[in-house]
Amino acid sequence: MGHLLPEGAIIVDEAQTSGVMLPHFTRGAPRHDVITLTGGAIGQGLPNAVGAAIACPDRPVLALVGDGSAMYTLQSLWTMARERLDVTTIVFNNRSYAILNMELQRVGATGSAAAGGKARSQLDLANPDLDFVRLGTGMGVHSVRATTTQALVEALAHALRTPGPHLIEAVVPSAFSGLKLRLLPHVLDSLARLPQPLARALKRKVSP
């Protein structure tokens, strides 16, 4: 994205855990704007992209959403197709509400094996797997799947040079899992108690 981002683009960022490094990798890109969530809810990414495209029809809009976030307001894709909006949507599909799994860790809901398994199953987006290519196509949006970096680059380059709405389903691993997922809540909770220079350094490490 940092390599292909056009001048004047509008990024609507609701990539959640998949977008943690977005500021780092787009800091050398041409001048652009970023609209992001303020926390506390998910699902605003796709409707925000619709609003940005209507407000600025001469600027390309790139909507970055997690698979869980996309499912909250998937009908926005139909609006993009109906209004022929110049929006490229990348759905980061890790088959999980990964951001909410992080919150489970923070509230201690994964304590016992039984309770933890039940809680985690409610945030699992597999069985059956979501097929965003079919979902997007069914709403009139040109949709493709990318399972490699090269495929993502090619799909994004095509979408950015072709007017109208596009969807790219990027199949990705979880950005936070295992030990990293277990440690992250403790790191975040400790920030308020640490000296400010150290807290800022840790925060930049987690989200540059």
DSSP E strands in the chain: the ranges are: 10-14, 33-36, 61-66, 87-93, 142-146, 166-171
Report the sign of the C-alpha dihedral through residues 105, 111, 117, 119, in that order: negative
Question: What's the chain's average pLDDT?
Answer: 83
Residue pLDDT, tens place only, 40-69 = 678 899 999 999 999 999 999 999 999 988
Distance CA 99, CA 181 (A): 10
Distance CA 135, CA 89 (A): 13
The residues spanned by each domain of the chain are 10-176, 180-208
Residue pLDDT, tens place only, 111-138 = 555 556 666 666 666 778 889 999 999 9
The fold adopted by the segment(s) 10-176 is Rossmann fold (3.40.50)
